[in-house]
Structure formats: structure tokens, C-alpha cells
Amino acid sequence: MTDWLGPEEWAAVALSLKVAFWATLGALGPGIFVAYALARWSFPGKQLVNGLVHLPLILPPVATGYLLLMAFGTQGGFGSFLKELGIVFAFRWTGAALAAAVMAFPLLVRAVRLSIEAVDPKLEQAASTLGASRIWVFLTVTMPLILPGILAGAVLAFAKAMGEFGATITFVSNIPGQTRTLPSAIYSFLQVPGGETAALRLVMVSVFVAMAALLLSEFIGRYLARRVGGE
């Protein structure tokens, strides 16, 4: 595969996979927590949280990228604080992962929230009468039942992270080997004469990765549904 893709192209693909992987993984925990809170709890400011979570879905990605730059840039509020701790996001691959995670977050939360709402709270009540504390109820009843939803959300988030362009390029720019993800690379190749074939190869890689992710999630989803559906 490395022969087929040039080193620069290969670097973009590898970076995108890395970014999407960590973005998805990082978004998963907070995503499930927020989805659970939105589905099951009532608290003041719930609509505000809901709005904030969905903001990246509605806002122009470039605007989100700019907000991230202001917050997490080395001059930004969070950024300068995190820099003290040795964590830098701006113009690093970690920043690309952060941008992808933020952009993918609402998709993940939506999918997980829907699946939590589909779980009958009566089952959770039954578990609590049998002696399970809240955490145990979540781990042994809610979580296994929403696994298909988590998986669907994760695949969506991964695909979104792979394709994220606007926020990423605004926040961490387009540095080869550092922040030049697959979409940025396609864009860059299209800017130079004779770059079309390289761009096309990367497009094919995108199609392949997307299809593989979809098929995998379909397969695992069916397996899980069969387990839950009971036989």
C-alpha cells in the first residue's frame, strides 16, 4: 500500500486515522456522560447544555475552528494555562484531534442519547431493587443495552473526524506531517498543477475507509442486536 501511495499521501492517511481514532476515543466518555445526563436527568440549564453540545453541528466549521483557536491557542485562555502544564494543541496533531472531537461530539451524543431513551427505565428500576447501585445499574443494564447506539455513534464520529476540514484547518492550519489530514491533503493537491491523481488516490482511500467503517459497524450492530434480542 505504501508503494501505491506517495510518502506524503501516506502520511496524510496515517495522520487522519490517528486523529480520528483519538478524537473518537476521547469524545466517547464525555459523550456518553452528556447523553445520559440529557436523556435521564433534569437539571437547570439543560437546554443550554443541549444547545452548546449541538453548536458545532450548526455553526460554520470555520467559526468553530476560530473559537477553538481563541480558547486553546497558545495565547488563548485555556491554551496558555495548558501550556504551563506542557500541553499544546495549536498547530499540533493533538489540536487536529481536538477539533475533530468537538465537531464529532454532537453526532455521538445524539446517537447515544437516542439509544438511552430507548432503554426502558423500568429495567433500571428493577436492577436497583435487586441491590445494584446507580453505577452498577449503568454498567450492567444500561450500558449493554445501548452498546449498539454507542457503536453507531462512534462510527459516525469517526467518519466525521476523518472528514473534518474547516475547523481543523482554521485551528491547526495545514502543516505537512503535522496537521495535514486527509481532507487538507486533498485540498492541497488540488491547489497545485498535476496534483489531481494524488487527490484522486486519497479520495479513493477516503471511500474505502468510510465503507469499511460502515460495514464493520453494521456487522457488530447486528451481532449485538441479536444478543439483546434474545436467543
Partner 1 sequence: MSLFVKVKQKVEGFDLDVDFEAPTGATVLFGASGSGKTTLINAVAGLSRGSVGRVAVDDWVLQDSAAGIWLPPHKRRLGYVFQEGRLFPHMSVKQNLAYGQRFAPKDGAVSELDKVVHMLGIEPLLGRRPGMLSGGEKQRVAIGRALLARPRLILADEPLAALDEARKAEIMPYFERLRDEADVPILYVSHSMGEVARLATTVVALERGRVSRVGPAAEVLGDPGFTPAGVRAVGAVLEARVVAHHEDGLSELDAGGNPLFLPRISQRIGTLMRVRIAAHDVILSREEPKGLSALNMMAGEIDAVRAGDGPGAIVSVKTNAGPVLARVTRRSADALGLVPGVKCYAVVKTVSIAPEDVGGR
Cβ contact 37:226 at 8 Å: no
Nearer of residues 149 and 183 to partner 1, judged by Cβ: 149
Distance CA 77, CA 84 (A): 12
Cβ contact 133:95 at 8 Å: no
Enter the C-alpha cell of residue 34: 452528556
- Determine if 193 is a binding residue for partner 1 (CB under 8 A): no
Nearer of residues 86 and 230 to partner 1, judged by Cβ: 230
Nearer of residues 140 and 178 to partner 1, judged by Cβ: 140
Nearer of residues 124 and 164 to partner 1, judged by Cβ: 124
For 174, what's the count of Cα atoms within 13 Å in the CB-facing half-sphere? Answer: 15
| Count of chain residues binding partner 1 (CB under 8 A) | 23
Nearer of residues 123 and 192 to partner 1, judged by Cβ: 123
Which range touches partner 1 (CB under 8 A), out of 3-11, 87-95, 131-139, 183-191?
Answer: 131-139
Instruction: Report the SS3 class of residue 189.
Output: helix
- Determine if 192 is a binding residue for partner 1 (CB under 8 A): no
Note the Cα 195 to chain centre separation in Å: 29
Cβ contact 85:131 at 8 Å: no
- Determine if 197 is a binding residue for partner 1 (CB under 8 A): no
Q: Is the dihedral of CA 149, 150, 154, 155 positive or negative?
A: negative
- Determine if 151 is a binding residue for partner 1 (CB under 8 A): no
- Determine if 222 is a binding residue for partner 1 (CB under 8 A): no
Which positions lie near partner 1, rule CB under 8 A? 120, 122-123, 125-133, 136-137, 140-141, 144-145, 227-231
